[in-house]
Amino acid sequence: MSAAASEITVKSDAVKQMPVEQPHVALRGITCVFHSRGRSLHALGPVDLSLTKGEFFSVVGPSGCGKSTLLDILAGLNPPQTGTAQFEGKPIQGVPDGVGVVFQEDASFPWLNVHDNVAFGLRRAGVDPAEIKRRVDYAIGFMGLKDFAAAYPAQLSGGMRQRVCIARTLVLQPRLIMLDEPFGALDQQTRLIMGDELLRLWRETSATILLITHALDEAAMLSDRVGVMSTRPGTFIDIVETGWDRNRDSRVVSTPHFGDITARLWEKLRVEALKMMSTSETRSS
Amino acid sequence: MRRFGGTAIVILACIAIWQLLYLYVGDSALASPLQTVEKLSVLLRTGDFWIHVSETGRAFVLALLIAVLGGIALGVILGLGRLAGDVAEPILVTLYSIPKIVLYPLVLLCFGLGMSAKVAFGVMHGLIPITLFSMNAIRQMKPVYRRTSQVLRLTTLQTALTVIVPAILPEIISGVRLGFSLTLLGVLIGEMFASQRGLGFLLTSAINLGQIDTIMAIALLLTVFAIACNTLMMMFDRHLAHR
């Protein structure tokens, strides 16, 4: 990435001029309140958000701000109390077709080898075996798992297992991929490499990506836009456009622009993180 | 090969201790290893003995089948419903701590003399441990597996058969290993009272007649059977752990 800072402004104009059709994902006035044992907890909102088709959007926020709740709402796992959530113009009720989710925890099935893990969703969906083979072979090759197709997850490192989970989502050809702190448990080098893989996947599939993360550098390096969330109840306090080239990779971390983005994100987030710490609550998001 | 060598040493040591114990307590309380094996080979060549073996075998297989399938089904249901599990667990644990032999007269009254009473008594022993193991396995299953099956839009049946059951299989096998020996115990105790056939009945009559070699031969047969089955299940368990 030798993209000089001067180029960036041009690129960001290009992003703005993308045809403004119906948003791929639209959230309006979403709030979420949890009730447990007589106490109610206002976890999220009101949140408004629209994602353009094919955009890479990241959400950063202090822990416990409702980032994962936001993902649950979009994935149809947890209906909001108020507001409307739409995917491709249709209200989200239950898990919508065309949405793939990668979780933070290792969700690979230890009783299946890599190949069968990747093929799992397609087999359950009753896809034609020839088609399954084609898509699984492609996804395994794409994620660099070719030599491990017969291995079981227990024999793989954490990064490789997360690749299996990504491949398992990839074969379903989702149009919206959501990732909930997918690299949270990995070491720094692996995280950067996995970031590159994710960018490659994004370019290849032209899916819309929503990445939830607590790592500012990850958000700054990967995204077209980064939404910064406040402490609970989480709302967007800033949305930062990065203006990166579509062909970016992890080497952008050495550019001054990367420093600028990270600094801006941290400036907003620092205040929230301090608030979070002073409430002395350490619930996970 | 080293593992088999170790096993052989343990078996030889057991036989040696048995022989020494026999020399110490004498003919009135024990049969020697050699006498026991001789008696067993005689028994195995008599047709009557096989009638008893098949009677016990049928009761045991039936009881084990009911205990395993019922235990897993109950465990899955209780494990999935959090409230149901919270309510059921202390009840099951308390029920299980009752010495079941005191209920055997009631079982006999309910099921009558014969096969069904033995089976019921075996199930009473085996069902609860298998239920508890399956229930706890589900409660301790990683929540992300269920979220994954939701996201992959699986039906409830698909989730149960292709995610939950394989995920908890290692724990279920541990439960079945425990349930196996307890069910066998239940069936044999059932046969020892108010029964005209089966290995348990043979044991009781041998006790009454003071046929120590017969008692020992039956004990040896059951021991070999139980160890063989347990070894098979352990091998399967190890196979699963390797994956």
Interchain contact, B151 vs A172, CB within 8 Å: no
Radius of gyration of chain B (CA): 21
Mean pLDDT of B207-221: 91
What digits encode the pLDDT tens for the residues B102-118? 888 898 899 888 889 99
Cβ proximity of A53 and A176 under 8 Å: no
Range(s) of the domain holding residue B176: 2-15+32-242
Q: What is the pLDDT of residue A58?
A: 93
Which residues 249-278 on chain A approach chain B with CB closer than 8 angstroms?
none
> What is the Cα–Cα distance from A185 to A165, expressed in whole angstroms?
14
pLDDT at site A66: 83
Is A124 at the interface with chain B, CB within 8 A? yes
pLDDT band per the 50, 70, 90 thresholds, residue A44: confident
Going by pLDDT thresholds of 50, 70 and 90, the confidence category of residue A280 is low
Q: Which of A112, A55, A121 is nearest to B150 (CA)?
A: A121
Q: Is 50 exceeded by the pLDDT of residue A8? A: no
| Tens digit of each residue's pLDDT (9 = 90 or more) over A226-267 | 999 888 888 888 888 888 888 888 888 889 999 999 999 898
Provide the shortest C-alpha distance from residue B173 to chain A (in Å): 14
Partners of residue A77 in chain B, C-beta under 8 Å: 147, 150-151
CATH architecture of A5-98+175-277: 3-Layer(aba) Sandwich (3.40)
Q: What is the ipTM of this complex?
A: 0.80
Mean pLDDT estimate for chain B: 89
pLDDT band at B188 (very low <50, low <70, confident <90, very high): very high
* Average pLDDT of the segment spanning B18-28: 89
User: Considering only CB atoms, which residues of chain B are within 8 Å of chain A?
Assistant: 142, 144-145, 147-148, 150-154, 158, 162-163, 166-167, 169, 240, 242-243
Look at A124 and B152 and tell me if their CB atoms are within 8 Å: yes
Mean local confidence (pLDDT), A257-285: 78
**Number of other CB atoms surrounding residue A236 within 10 Å:** 18
Per the domain annotation, does B81 fall within a domain? yes
Q: Tell which phi-psi region holds residue B27, choosing left (phi > 0), alpha (psi between -120 and 50) or beta.
A: alpha
DSSP secondary structure string for all residues of A259-280: HHHHHHHHHHHHHHHHHHHHTT
Domain range list for chain A: 5-98+175-277, 112-173
User: What integer pLDDT is reported at residue A3 of this predicted model?
Assistant: 44
Between A276 and B131, where is the model more confident? B131
The per-residue pLDDT for A6 is 44
Q: Which residues of B touch A105 (CB under 8 A)?
A: 142, 144
Whole-number Å distance between alpha carbons of A27 and A176: 14
Nearest CB to A105; choose among B144, B158, B169 = B144
- Structure confidence by residue, pLDDT tens digits, A63-97: 777 888 888 888 888 888 888 888 888 888 888 88
Nearest-CA distance B140 → chain A (Å): 15
Nearest-by-Cβ selection for A124 from B147, B162, B166: B162
For residue A111, give the nearest of B150, B153, B166 by CB distance.
B166
Measured distance CA(A204)–CA(B215) in Å, rounded: 74
Number of structural domains chain B divides into: 1
Is B27 domain-assigned? no
Within a 10 A sphere around the Cβ of A119, how many other Cβ atoms?
Answer: 24
A99 has a chain B CB within 8 A of its CB: yes
| Per-residue confidence (pLDDT) for residue A184, from 0 to 100 | 81
B25 is a domain residue = no
Q: Summarize the confidence of residues B13-39 as an average pLDDT.
A: 90
Q: Look at residue B1 and tell me whether its pLDDT is greater than 60.
A: no
Quote the pLDDT of residue A80. 86
The CATH number assigned to the domain holding B59 equals: 1.10.3720.10
For position B205, what pLDDT does the model report? 92
Q: Which among B142, B150, B162 is the nearest to A95, CB-wise?
A: B150
For residue A9, the model assigns a pLDDT of 44
Confidence of residue A21 (pLDDT cuts 50, 70, 90): low
Sign of CA dihedral A267, A271, A272, A277: positive
